[in-house]
Structure 1
Amino acid sequence: MNILVALPVLVPLLAAALSLTVSQVPAAQRVLSLLVLAFIVVVAGVLLVRADTTGPVVLQLGGYPPPVGITLVADRLAALLLLVSIVVMLGVLVFAIGQRVTDTGRASTTTAFHPMYLVLCSGVSLAYLTGDLFNLFVAFEMMLSASYVLMTRHTTADRVRPSMTYVIVSLTSSLLFLTMVALVYAATGTVNLADLSHRIADLPGGMRTTLGLLMVVVFGIKSAVVPLHFWLPDSYPTAPAPITAVFAALLTKVGIYSVIRTQTLLFSNAADWNFLLAVALLTMLVGALGAIAQNDLNRLLSFLLVSHIGFMLFGLALFSVLGLVGVILYILHHIAVQAALFLASGLLTRHTGTASLRDMCGAASSYPLVAFLFAIPALSLSGIPPFSGFVAKVALLRAGIEVATPMAYLVTGGAILTSFLTLYAMSKVWTSAFWGRPRPPVPDPDPSDTLTVGTGRTSPAMLLAAAGMVLTGLLIAGSAGPVSDIGERAAGDLLARSPYRQAVLGTGGGS
């Protein structure tokens, strides 16, 4: 059973290599990618059941004893996030296959997409499952390499410039990451997370604080935490709709997962962390106010993505079981909702031929299904009951009130204000893009082309994929009880730390 932990990392890599060998048969590439992701969904489901019933599933690669060898660990948190992430990747892949073109209207049936998408899947899986800091670095580099190729396909000057910003910032954070790994190894003699949880406790207080803050900065760049967020609103909107959707849904969440894993396992925070609470409040408000100021739909959604990273930092900074339950629920909700919003945005811009809110009008009467597919995740992101965003926000607000410190109360109030600002931003989109008299149809330069942006034509696969993402968000809300129970057990494990240590290092969790 333990070998299953390696499959989400290994199988997509092997499939990526195989996909290159069948590059002259696009149908074979598509079928291969779909089958691989469907298989990983099944594996992730099995790992979640196993981790929840019998404890973390651990694989020591090469048979080396810990902490010497490479360790893969699927505990409740990693398995749960892996399952939802791969479900979203599968849905976005269906959308991309149905679209067949980028948002510039050029053909996208090239050999690069499917291999790079599978490498991205492998990198996301490795980030969740790795048990050491160095392979977490490797996972981020895999995601960076794949995401840059996916972002810059069919390059234009308008796309390359923001993409270069994305790469430069990512490489800078990678250098900081590698420096942090070197410092950790120099100070402790290990990079194994379970072993580090013992050894970091023996370091002087100043060194522990420095390493903890360095990790927050490194993963804060990856997560687009304010003030390290400037690259995201410029980079994501330039990519094709399905690429933007998968980036928005997953890449920042992997960064947040890394913050959660390292801060709970390696550092002891008996009380709420006021510094992180302040960063969370700043991220919420700056992102929401930035969204309100936007006229471009995709930039507006990108700023809201930044804003709601603050909610996840809020729950983590409280360092309570209820706060971490709220974080877990919020990550699951946000993965599905962000993917659904960007896919619905892709459908809308495809019909209207523009992402400018000033140039959109009357889409609700012309494209009612697209309006419905946008409205549901928009309400969920705003925290309107009974959607998944409401469930997650209630858990976070309860956690903030229970902590009962002045800073926690302040950030709780900021979270409520941010929810209203999000609702205002979504109302702005609705009144600009969906209400009013329908605009004249965009001229079709090539009537024989059924897939060009602005023609008002979409494939059934695109609509099905967008609907599937909306349904995923609804299922998370509908199963809030069982998911909260798993989240509570996962949060208890994170704060206790002993289940992870014992699973990796053996009985007693010693080093």
Structure 2
Amino acid sequence: MIPQSSWITVLIVLPTLAPLLGAAVTLLRGRSPSLQRAVSVTAIGIALAASAMMLYLTSVNGPYAVHVGGWGDRDGGGGPLGITLVVDRLAALMLVVSTTVLLCVVVYAIGQGIRDGTTEQPVSIFLPTYLILTAGVCNAFLAGDLFNLYVSFEVLLAASFVLLTLGASAERVRAGASYVMVSMVSSLIFLAGIAFAYAATGTLNLAEMAVRLDDIPDGTRNALYAVLLVAFGIKAAVFPLSTWLPDSYPTAPAPVTAVFAGLLTKVGVYAIIRAHSLLFPGGSMDTVLMIAGLLTMLVGIFGAIAQSDVKRLLSFTLVSHIGYMIFGIAVGSLESTSAAIYYVAHHILVQTTLFLVVGLIERQAGSSSLRRLGGLIASPLLAVLFLIPALNLGGIPPFSGFIGKVALLQAGVADGSVLSWILVAGGVVTSLLTLYVMARIWTKGFWRARADAPEGDLASSTPSALVEEGIDVQLDDREDVGRMPVTMVVPTAAMVAVGLALTVWAGPIFAFTDSGADGVLDRNVYIETVLGPGGDR
């Protein structure tokens, strides 16, 4: 294991610790909104800075591990006792992308007034809960043992319950109830998997478990893997475990929906990557993952075609593009794993951006329904903010969506199996249909005259004029229609720019994901970082 000083230990802990401390301060100072906002932005900014530093250090020196509490090794040998946090290139990249998104979204939410309706909503609880969500997401990427990963999931899910039902409208409570039930089932399955893993190996430390699982009979290993895949598949919204998502996400306020869509499912994907490469290498479930990836792509995009509400449409595209990531994981080569990691980063940024743009569309038109939208091209800034990530998601060259999909398809072709070729064909079809649904939003929402929309009379007819004159129009029980605050536009534009950066610096980023994929697939690097050279072998 690479020697490390105490400041590196602090650096690894900061992405989790800073948001938790910020949550405590903002909860205690709920009557000071300005202080709440300052503390929230500062805490997430610290997490981002620490993550960026870890990204640099892991790219130069390789992975680091810290055993929180300083318990050290067990008496009589064995692995570390206590909570282990591990940061390698994959974890560091996920941390940087996630904290960037979380920072932009919290600024956007502050600009929106942390509300999506009436002024009586309990907005003072938003920022503390959001910071707890941030801590849960960051800790999930750093978790070096299975139970700590479970705790991270529960922390971010508990926070998501509050954010999803903020305002307690009937629609949000119904969606929240469904989300709670699905999440509880997922958590119970995960907890059962933890119990089975401990019974089989006598440890929950991922590195130590990876070593001991090699001596477990294949039937037991496969059963344990299947249980964990179901738990992680629900969280990642992999078909057929994805039906809960389109009904849950669209009801929340725009910033909440954006961060949910961008991040929460990717934590599940990250867990699948770790399980597939570290705990259960060898491809025993690759065929199942390939079939699930193909069905996730196709069912998700066909569901998107049938939608008339932009939020629900984007929720279905979110599901469909999870299939690309599962495709890359299942193929299992260096090229496919690298492409999957790149595509995860791309999709976090682009999907979050599109949901933020939908929030701006609701500000302009008072609705996200395609039956009411039209004429939004009158606001050129809004049109550009939508068009760039839409083309990116659709896979139009030279954007990062095209680069990531081509890399995945090339890896599938190189694999050469019949199932890989079927997945390649499914990926091409999904990409074309994604472009179709994005074009549908553009033609109906932006290019079409509002008077031609079936319910166009229920939305504003002059959005750009409303922005210029600052007029408040009462539509759909909203007081903010026609306004796009600078603090909402700037973080959205920043997200668009970061998404474009994945295109401009695709070469260096792919070089980094290649090295990250190599570290993921060569699990000895991870194991030796945690246990030391030859540890527990």
Q: Which residue of 1 aligns with 2:13?
A: 6
Q: Which residue of 2 aligns with 1:42?
A: 49
- Out of 509, 525, 528, the residue aligned to residue 499 of structure 1 is 525
TM-score, with length taken from structure 1: 0.97
Q: Which residue of 1 aligns with 2:66?
A: 59
Q: How does 1:108-187 map to 2 (within 5 A)?
A: 110-187=123-200
Which residue identity lines up with residue 255 of structure 2 in the other structure? P
Q: How does 1:6-405 map to 2 (within 5 A)?
A: 6-64=13-71, 65=73, 66-106=79-119, 110-269=123-282, 273-365=286-378, 367-405=379-417
Q: Which residue of 2 aligns with 1:489?
A: 515
Deviation track 1:353-380 (CA, whole Å, cap 9, x = no partner) reads 1111011111112x22111111111101
Distance across 2 between alignment mates of 1:109 and 1:370: 29
Distance across 1 between alignment mates of 2:303 and 2:473: 37
Deviation track 1:465-504 (CA, whole Å, cap 9, x = no partner) reads 1111111100111111111111101111111101100100
Distance across 2 between alignment mates of 1:101 and 1:39: 22
Report if aligned partners of 2:353, 2:389 keep a CA contact under 8 Å in 1: yes
Distance across 1 between alignment mates of 2:51 and 2:350: 20
Q: Which residue of 1 aligns with 2:501?
A: 475
Query: What is the count of residue pairs matched by the alignment?
Result: 509
Flag the 1:480–1:454 CA change in 2: closer, same or farther, 3 A. Answer: same
Q: Which runs of 5+ in 2 are unaligned?
A: 1-7, 74-78, 452-456
Report if aligned partners of 1:380, 1:388 keep a CA contact under 8 Å in 2: yes
Flag the 1:429–1:105 CA change in 2: closer, same or farther, 3 A. Answer: farther
Flag the 1:192–1:414 CA change in 2: closer, same or farther, 3 A. Answer: same
> 1:105 deviation in Å?
4.3
Which residue identity lines up with residue 246 of structure 2 in the other structure? P
Deviation track 1:159-181 (CA, whole Å, cap 9, x = no partner) reads 11011100110011001111110
Q: Superposition RMSD on alpha carbons, in Å?
A: 1.8
Distance across 1 between alignment mates of 2:356 and 2:237: 21
Distance across 2 between alignment mates of 1:281 and 1:175: 27
Report if aligned partners of 1:352, 1:454 keep a CA contact under 8 Å in 2: no
Which residue identity lines up with residue 103 of structure 1 in the other structure? D
> 1:106 deviation in Å?
3.6
Distance across 1 between alignment mates of 2:53 and 2:362: 38
> 1:272 deviation in Å?
8.5
Q: Which runs of 5+ in 1 are unaligned?
A: none
TM-score, with length taken from structure 2: 0.92
Distance across 2 between alignment mates of 1:157 and 1:109: 15
> 1:113 deviation in Å?
0.7
Q: Which residue of 1 aligns with 2:4?
A: none
Between 1:383-392 and 1:59-68, the stretch displaced more is 59-68
Between 1:452-461 and 1:367-376, the stretch displaced more is 452-461
SS state of the match for residue 225, structure 2? helix
SS state of the match for residue 59, structure 1? strand
Distance across 2 between alignment mates of 1:63 and 1:275: 41
Distance across 2 between alignment mates of 1:168 and 1:412: 35
Distance across 2 between alignment mates of 1:101 and 1:120: 16
Distance across 1 between alignment mates of 2:28 and 2:189: 36
Deviation track 1:224-271 (CA, whole Å, cap 9, x = no partner) reads 111111110000000000000000000000000000011100112258
Distance across 1 between alignment mates of 2:396 and 2:102: 26
Distance across 2 between alignment mates of 1:153 and 1:25: 19
Identity of aligned residues (%): 47
SS state of the match for residue 336, structure 1? helix
Distance across 2 between alignment mates of 1:454 and 1:58: 48
Distance across 1 between alignment mates of 2:508 and 2:536: 33
Distance across 1 between alignment mates of 2:473 and 2:240: 44
Report if aligned partners of 1:223, 1:256 keep a CA contact under 8 Å in 2: yes
